[in-house]
Amino acid sequence: MHNQVKAKSVWLLYFTLSIGVIGGILAYGVVIPLYLLGYLWPAATELADQVMCQGIRLLMSIQPWFRGEIDLDLPQNGKGCLLVSNHRSHLDAFILLSRIQGIRILAKDSLFGVPFLGPMMRFSKQIPVQRGNIQSFLEAIDQVEARISQGDVVHVFPEMTRCEQGFEGTQSFSIAPFRAAMKSGFPVVPIVIQGTDEAWPKSAWGLRFRQLVRVRSLKALDPKEFASSDELMREARHQIQQALLIGHP
Task: Tell me the whole-structure pTM to 2 decimals.
Answer: 0.93
What does the pLDDT read at residue 4?
67
Query: Averaged over 111-125, what is the pLDDT?
Result: 92
3-state SS class at 245: helix
Alpha carbon 246 to its chain's center:
23
Contact 124, 153 (CB under 8 A): no
Average pLDDT, the chain: 93
- pLDDT tens, residue by residue, 32-67: 999 999 999 999 999 999 999 999 999 999 999 999
Domains of the chain: 67-246 (3.40.1130.10)
- The CA-based angle 199-205-208, given to 5 degrees, is 25
Q: Which residues contact 192 (CB under 8 A, 6 or more apart)?
A: 85, 86, 214, 215, 216, 217, 218, 240, 243, 244, 249
Instruction: Taking each helix axis as running N to C, give the angle between helix 43-61 and helix 91-99, from 0 to 180 degrees, rounded to the nearest 10.
Output: 130
What does the pLDDT read at residue 29?
96
**Burial track 103-123 (b if 16+ CB lie within 10 A, e otherwise):** bbbbbebeebeeeebbebbeb
- Reported confidence tier of residue 101, pLDDT bands at 50, 70, 90: very high
What does the pLDDT read at residue 3?
63
The span from the CA of 232 to the CA of 209, in Å, is: 37
Contact 218, 243 (CB under 8 A): yes
Is 205 a residue whose pLDDT tops 90? no
